[in-house]
Amino acid sequence: MGCALVTGAGRRLGLAMARALAADGWPVALAARTSFADASTEARNITEGGGKAVAIRGDLTDRRTPAALVREASEELGPVTLLVNNAAVFIDDSVRSAGPDTINANLDTNLVAPMLLTRAFCELLPSSERGCVINMLDQRVANPTPRYMSYTASKVALEAMTRTWALQLAPAVRVNGIAPGMALPDHRSDDAAMARWTAGFPMGRGTSPEEICDALRFLIQAPSVTGQVLHLDGGQRLGWQHPPGGYPLGPDVA
């Protein structure tokens, strides 16, 4: 089985996926920076529950970090055969407001780091093993909006890399993506605000951490699937009602 390396694993979806993988018997390396304390607590909980886990601290904006994370995970838990490129930043900008700071911040973590992580993953994958890479994307890859320009560019590029890597790395490594819509309230809202927002989606709902973990399990277990992106978004990308205040929810949303 090898081990799984999940980036951004200290909170939210990364934490949920790390827990799900550990529950399925995977040794899990939880990589985190600002949420390293949370990742450490979860690694300890997994270990105390009979599983295998380690928390690894790393700043993905440092170009040396991705290879170091893969090496440390391999040294602690055995060869990394599953890489979940989950860590991301979500910084708002537009063509009029973007500057080098917002552009670099979004691209460094959301695109460059997964590139370097995937390179290191392939270099250290034993020839006797089959590998799997899962890129966490966003429904915006099929439904761009005027805001979050650099973030959207990073995820669109990572979606293209999902297909490119799937072709280049087969058959030793399968590469797929998960593109969620709203799965959790953002840091500035709550469950009620999320419910008002997702009510305008075709399915009247977004997704959930549990559904995303089920999608992750499917992609891991389906040996014929590569170069695919699963959209879990309640139909958001297909056409939906924008709230009158825009995104994030504006003050004039009832």
In tens, the pLDDT along 79-137 reads: 999 999 999 999 999 999 999 999 999 999 999 999 999 999 999 999 999 999 999 99
Q: How many separate domains does the chain show?
A: 1
* pLDDT above 90: residue 249: no
Question: In this structure, is residue 58 part of a structural domain?
Answer: yes
pLDDT at site 141: 94
- Helix, strand, coil shares of the chain, percent, nearest 5, are 45, 15, 40
8 A C-beta contact, residue 201 and residue 236: yes
Question: In this structure, is residue 114 part of a structural domain?
Answer: yes
pLDDT at site 177: 98
Q: For the whole model, what pTM was predicted? A: 0.92
Report residue 38's pLDDT band, with 50, 70 and 90 as the boundaries: very high
What is d(CA 179, CA 5) in angstroms, rounded to the nearest whole number?
19
* Range of the structural domain that residue 136 is part of: 3-238
Residue 22: HSE in the Cβ half-sphere, 13 Å Cα cutoff: 26
pLDDT at site 191: 80
**Cβ of 100: how many Cβ atoms within 10 Å?**
7
Closest to 197 in 3D by CA, of 229, 163, 156, 243: 243
Question: In this structure, is residue 244 part of a structural domain?
Answer: no
pLDDT at site 193: 79
Output the domain CATH number for residue 19.
3.40.50.720
Sign of CA dihedral 220, 221, 227, 231: negative
Mean pLDDT of 198-215: 91
Beta strands in 59-121 (DSSP E): 80-85
